[in-house]
Amino acid sequence: MLSFLAGGADGAPVNPWVALAYLVAGVFFILALRGLSSPATSRTGNRFGMVGMLIAVVTTLVTHDVANIVEIGIAILIGGSIGFVIARRIAMTAMPELVAGFHSLVGLAAVLVGWAAYLNPGAFGLLSMGDTLVIGSDGLFTFGRGISPVSKVEMGLGIAIGAITFSGSVIAFAKLSGRMSGSPILLPARHVINLGTLAAIIVLTALFAMAGPSETMPLIIALTVLAFAIGFLLIIPIGGADMPVVVSMLNSYSGWAAAAMGFTLGNTAMIITGALVGSSGAILSYIMCRAMNRSFLSVIAGGFGADDSAGGSGEAKEQRPYKQGSAADAAFMLEQAEKVIIIPGYGMAVAQAQHALREMADMLKEKGVEVKYAIHPVAGRMPGHMNVLLAEAQVPYDEVFELEDINSEFAQADVAFIIGANDVVNPAAKTDKSSPIYGMPVFDVDKAKQVFFIKRSMGGVGYAGVDNDVFYMDQTMMLLSDAKKMVEEIVKSLD
């Protein structure tokens, strides 16, 4: 059984210890996912993942014929050094685009591996017995000769999914990093174009699997080009409010691309790892879509703000009266409160206000105030963005609550303290059927006795482009300033 699991691409059994090593690596990957399910165990989960990957890489290098182990070692050293430096220097606000950038590299790697296997299947053990090799001027190239239809399907799927992951992640990176507008870019007849392109990719994969050796090159080129194109076409129409789902979705794509390449190469570790990443990313995307009360297909079809008639323009639609307060006003009312619920959003991340926020919360707790943090599943620009920022500021895990666990407590809260959030506290999601965020579960901050809302100005209205009635409620006090500066001023007033 172990020999079967560890079989090579040509079906030949290999050393059963290889299968055992890959199995151990797979167990570590599962433990990593379990650890990453909670901020309290996330570091342990990361360590498990690193150990599992180390076992898988070392096993592959030791048990396979490698052309030049020195070159591979140098490549690993260079790539690892670059990743280490980037991870050490990256700001927490840039984490979402970093994740998207890394996803693009995974997709591109799948495309390159697929093409390498196609151009030289003999080196990957994909040739059947009795097949004839064609010697080209540049060396040993077969251009698909002798590759079985099943292997071609696996190869085509790996290349297609990898290309979609690469180009889609590039667009996500550009949107998240501000190099491209976060607003949806709508193409005429985009749904027809997308469906037609996807259908063409499926047809090309089938033709590629059935084609003779001399007919495969144009098909695989066309397949690759269309897959790159559909990645761009799918992500460009998606607005910034749906970016957390997009990041999770692209993570899933990268896993399935790796799994497909694992089947092509006959590598059990790649299949296990890819399936774990792909399935966990898909489940997370589903959970986040449920948190927004949206279907996965509706997100892919366009995202928040994709319908011009429903969405806003990103600016307040009308001038309405609101109350503006100062840091001193907020500090006085906060220290008089018995219960304060803090709702962080992307504005907190941009201002890097999490450390000042934790200092403010610590001072309030010293004065006998109960402080809790409310995290929306889609707050920020990627899954868990706010959790990571609060963990960085060493906010106790037992003070952080998800939407469904804390939403009922706003009616008993003296203060709802909103810092950089917008769409996740917008009551239009519950009342306005024409709103692009209608149906998305939001925090019931309107039930709190007092609301403090920190934002830079009254001009912007969030990524979804929808004005927020919370700004104008009788119990709301707008604190218009940079989030970090405002919280630091509140801390000084509390002191």
Catalytic residues: 423
For residue 343, which of 423, 272, 240 has the smallest C-alpha distance? 423
Q: Of all helices (H) and strands (E), which one includes residue 56?
A: helix 42-63
List, in order, residues 6 or more apart from 75 with CB less than 8 Å away: none
243 touches 176 (CB < 8 A): yes
If you search the block for the tokens 């144009």, which residue do you land on?
A: 218
Alpha-carbon 333 to chain mean position: 38
Cα separation, 249 vs 297, whole angstroms: 11
Rounded Cα gap, residues 444 and 431, in angstroms: 12
Residue with tokens 């952080």: 400
| Rounded CA separation 196/302 (Å) | 16
Give the DSSP per-residue string, 235-255.
HTT--GGGHHHHHHHHHHHHH
Residue 31 token pair: 């433990």
Alpha-carbon span 450 to 482, nearest angstrom = 21
Q: Which among 276, 279, 280, 268 has a CA at the least distance from the CA of 55?
A: 268
